[in-house]
């Protein structure tokens, strides 16, 4: 994206800082329970209906979702922190003019619709790829890197580059690798949605399978 690069690797790092847990909060003593009134018998007409059992949705395994280079398109308007940041930027540029703000956000949404991520097999390695669209309409690789997978829940992918970073943004940013100890997290939210975590102002970046 021309306005704010959405896939600059430095802003997608997840910092794993260990912190001491906060001290336990004292539990206040419960007040004495007042004596309950005698129960009132319910007739068949005013008895509450039986509750239906609910089952939490099982986590979606991420590995099948990203197989075979499946492409995931960036969802600008669903990525709340990015939307908030860009709304503030557009509002400042438009001096609060609502029509200009809407036009600014529409332009960002149109451009970001061509941006996405995918995972590709390269020999025995898996590669993470972020891409967009060049001015000539062809795909443009923003970042590409072979990755090493770390231990993670079945619905998440934790990884770090396992080789040099290449692509337009790596060249423009003048970097070819991540600092030691940094890694990235992608979560499967459902059968077609991934979320990549990033520090502010980007936050959770939402992607939908194309």
Phi-psi map region of 181: left, alpha, beta (phi>0 left; psi -120 to 50 alpha): left
Q: How confident is the model at residue 200 (pLDDT cuts 50, 70, 90)?
A: confident
Contact 196, 205 (CB under 8 A): yes
pLDDT classification of 8: cutoffs 50, 70, 90: very low
Q: Model confidence at 210, in pLDDT bands (50, 70, 90)? A: very high
Q: What are the distances in angstroms from CA 36 to CA 32, 33, 47, 50, 76?
A: 12, 8, 20, 24, 54
Residue spans of the domains in the chain: they are 60-76+114-209
DSSP string, 20-39: PPPPPPPPPPPPPPPPPPPP
Q: Band the pLDDT of 56: cuts 50, 70, 90.
A: low
* DSSP secondary structure letter of residue 205: E
Q: What is the CATH number of domain 60-76+114-209?
A: 2.40.128.210
Is the model's pLDDT at 32 over the cut of 60? no
């Amino acid at each position: 994206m021309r306005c704010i690069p959405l896939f600059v690797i430095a802003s997608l790092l997840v910092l794993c800082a260990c912190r001491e847990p906060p001290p336990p909060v004292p539990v206040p003593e419960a007040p004495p329970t007042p004596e309950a009134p005698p129960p009132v018998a319910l007739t068949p007409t005013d008895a509450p209906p039986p509750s239906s059992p609910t089952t939490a949705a099982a986590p979606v395994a991420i590995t099948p979702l990203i197989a075979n280079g499946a492409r995931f398109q960036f969802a600008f308007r669903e990525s709340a922190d990015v939307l908030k940041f860009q709304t503030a930027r557009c509002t400042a540029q438009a001096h609060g003019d609502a029509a200009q703000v809407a036009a600014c956000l529409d332009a960002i949404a149109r451009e970001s619709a061509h941006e996405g991520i995918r995972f590709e097999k390269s020999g025995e390695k898996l590669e993470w790829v972020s891409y967009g669209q060049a001015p000539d309409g062809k795909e443009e690789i923003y970042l590409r890197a072979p990755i090493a997978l770390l231990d993670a829940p079945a619905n998440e992918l934790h990884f770090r580059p396992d080789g040099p970073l290449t692509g337009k943004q790596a060249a423009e940013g003048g970097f070819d690798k991540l600092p030691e100890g940094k890694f990235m997290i992608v979560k499967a939210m459902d059968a077609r949605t991934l979320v990549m975590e990033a520090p502010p102002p980007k936050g959770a970046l939402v992607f939908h399978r194309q």
